Structure 1
Amino acid sequence: MLLAFMIASAAYIAVGIYIAWSLTANRMIRKDVNLVLLLIGMLAHAALLYPYIFTLYGLNFNLFNVLSLISLFFLFFYVLFSLYRPIVSLGILAAPTAFVGMTIGYIGRAPYQPMTDVSVGLEAHIILSFAAYCVLLMATVQALFLRLQIRELKHKTMHRFWVNKLPPLQSMESLLFDMILVGFILLSIALGLGFIYVEDLLAQHIAHKTVFSVLSWLLFGLLLLGNWRAGWRGKRAANMTIYAFILLAIGFVGSKFVLELVL
């Protein structure tokens, strides 16, 4: 366990420092070096997390394990999107996020009733929900970066840090809608499986989570439709992404925090 944690930590920290140095020194970031280090970190992270979730008594998705899994998915999708989009510089956020999430999962402990006799459909619902949450979290971070770029362009500031250091605005917008579309599809499938395989929403204390998730799904769907039919983009798209994710986060993380740590 400790060895896997140390290997993943070293890889994540090395990537973060390397990208930060490259950005401040105006050096080109080596994508191959970046991705190899992250792959090593992800494998060690997965090896560390696996026994915490897949226990002898059943699946353990407590709050800390979930945060660690989300950070791992976050990094996975960053690597996936960076294969065809010029977003290597965004690793300055992806690597530290994975490190923080992994560390929280490694040291955090919370009471949790392991899930036993879980059907394949319910397992798929859970995994796809985490995957959707991660992609939409990335879209929200992307929206925040997009707002910073738009602000610098609008105010015509002399020192345009975000405009100069991040990919072009058009590429950032295209990536934002790539992420939203992938997240929306994953969330749609996850919600559909949830309605099929979850037997009693009230008894399992997830009715409020479902409501917030559906509201978030509707807002993301409206944004995609608006972009397709009316060309919604820029600040409006960024703001709607942030608002939709807040709804999803309230239902997803907020409910787990209250049930496991408060109640």
Structure 2
Amino acid sequence: MILASASPASVVLTLAAAVAYAVPAAGARRLSEPASRIALLIAWMLHAAVLAWTLWGEPPRFGFAPALSITAWLVLTAYAVEKQVFPQLEARWALAGLGSAAVLLALAFPGNPLHVSASPWLPLHLALGVASYGLFAAAVVHAWLMTRAEKQIRQAADPRAGLPLLTLERLTFRFATAGFALLTATLLAGFFFSDSLYGIAVVKWDHKTVFSVLAWIVFAFLLLGRLRFGWRGRKAVRVLYTGSLLLLLAYAGSRFVLEVVLRRPA
């Protein structure tokens, strides 16, 4: 772990965000709806402050754990927006626990200092990649909710509890489609502008590139199967999980090996 590299301000912000997330996560059944919503909003704002300090602090840092932390924050942002449209959407306790774990992980593994890049397009390239992470993570969360709703239907649970199954299914594929579009843009930028982005004339076929392309193929297979053959239910969820796992291994997995296992800059 690299806790020694964290500044006192980042430690305080991170611990405050983790505690704020823990309140709605641990007290999901005891807190009222307004109190739980306020606690999650405070945690979300503190999390945003942690990310701003990490990416624009002195020195700015990035790595697998900050990437996962940004992903968790994006998922929570999507949930906050959806909650206004679908009040019956219930995943607050799980997402709050995810947020708490993400900020603590980023405190333990803050990544490597970012160096001044020769290309002004590199931050945009990274932003597209992380945004695709966030959208696919949101798709995975909705797929999990869809699976839970399907199980509740089999158990003859109250049909008015939570979002309807078909609504969850539509939301899952909307997030997956948006994530696929951003992942496509990220890969195209890497392939066609690798010289200006990374200073190499040809694409570097490392673990990150290979896993990213494999994930793209799986997601394309999923969306084609949905469009052409009407895939839904468990089959679609399994394919989505497979692609998301490959995408997770592409950046976060390879950076984890470099930063934690091999202990050298990526």
Q: What's the TM-score, normalizing by structure 1?
A: 0.80
**What residue number does 1:11 align with?**
20
Query: How has the CA–CA distance of structure 1 residues 148 and 38 changed in structure 2, closer, same or farther, with 3 Å as cutoff?
Result: closer
Q: Which amino acid in 2 is paired with 1:210?
A: T
Query: How has the CA–CA distance of structure 1 residues 181 and 253 changed in structure 2, closer, same or farther, with 3 Å as cutoff?
Result: same
Query: How has the CA–CA distance of structure 1 residues 240 and 79 changed in structure 2, closer, same or farther, with 3 Å as cutoff?
Result: same
Query: Is 1:187 aligned with 2:190?
Result: no
1:225 to partner: Cα distance:
2.7
Query: How has the CA–CA distance of structure 1 residues 81 and 115 changed in structure 2, closer, same or farther, with 3 Å as cutoff?
Result: farther
> Could you report, residue by residue, the CA deviation over 1:27-62 in whole angstroms, capped at 9, with x for unpaired residues?
xx74x66554433322221222323233445x4212
Q: Which amino acid in 1 is paired with 2:21?
A: Y
1:116 to partner: Cα distance:
1.6
**What residue number does 2:236 align with?**
237
**What residue number does 1:168 align with?**
164
Q: What's the TM-score, normalizing by structure 2?
A: 0.79
Structure 1: segments with no counterpart, 5+ residues: 23-28
1:235 to partner: Cα distance:
1.5
Q: Which amino acid in 2 is paired with 1:76?
A: T
Query: How has the CA–CA distance of structure 1 residues 81 and 188 changed in structure 2, closer, same or farther, with 3 Å as cutoff?
Result: farther
**What residue number does 1:25 align with?**
none
Query: How has the CA–CA distance of structure 1 residues 195 and 174 changed in structure 2, closer, same or farther, with 3 Å as cutoff?
Result: same
**What residue number does 1:43 align with?**
45
Query: Is 1:210 aligned with 2:206?
Result: no
Query: Is 1:146 aligned with 2:146?
Result: yes
**What residue number does 1:121 align with?**
121
Query: How has the CA–CA distance of structure 1 residues 13 and 219 changed in structure 2, closer, same or farther, with 3 Å as cutoff?
Result: same
Contact 1:143 1:239 survives alignment (8 Å): no
Q: Which amino acid in 2 is paired with 1:146?
A: M
More deviation in 63-72 or 91-100? Answer: 63-72
> Could you report, residue by residue, the CA deviation over 1:87-124 in whole angstroms, capped at 9, with x for unpaired residues?
631122111111110112123355x3533225332101
The percent identity for this pair of structures is 27
Contact 1:213 1:251 survives alignment (8 Å): yes
RMSD value, Cα: 3.0
Structure 2: segments with no counterpart, 5+ residues: 1-8
Query: How has the CA–CA distance of structure 1 residues 214 and 86 changed in structure 2, closer, same or farther, with 3 Å as cutoff?
Result: farther
Contact 2:71 2:137 survives alignment (8 Å): no
Q: Which amino acid in 1 is paired with 2:146?
A: L
Q: Which amino acid in 2 is paired with 1:124?
A: L
**What residue number does 1:67 align with?**
68
Q: Which amino acid in 1 is paired with 2:214?
A: L
Query: Is 1:89 aligned with 2:94?
Result: no
Q: Which amino acid in 1 is paired with 2:138?
A: M
Contact 1:121 1:193 survives alignment (8 Å): no
Query: How has the CA–CA distance of structure 1 residues 168 and 11 changed in structure 2, closer, same or farther, with 3 Å as cutoff?
Result: same
Query: How has the CA–CA distance of structure 1 residues 19 and 203 changed in structure 2, closer, same or farther, with 3 Å as cutoff?
Result: farther
**What residue number does 2:109 align with?**
108
Distance in 2, matches of 1:231 and 1:176, equals 14
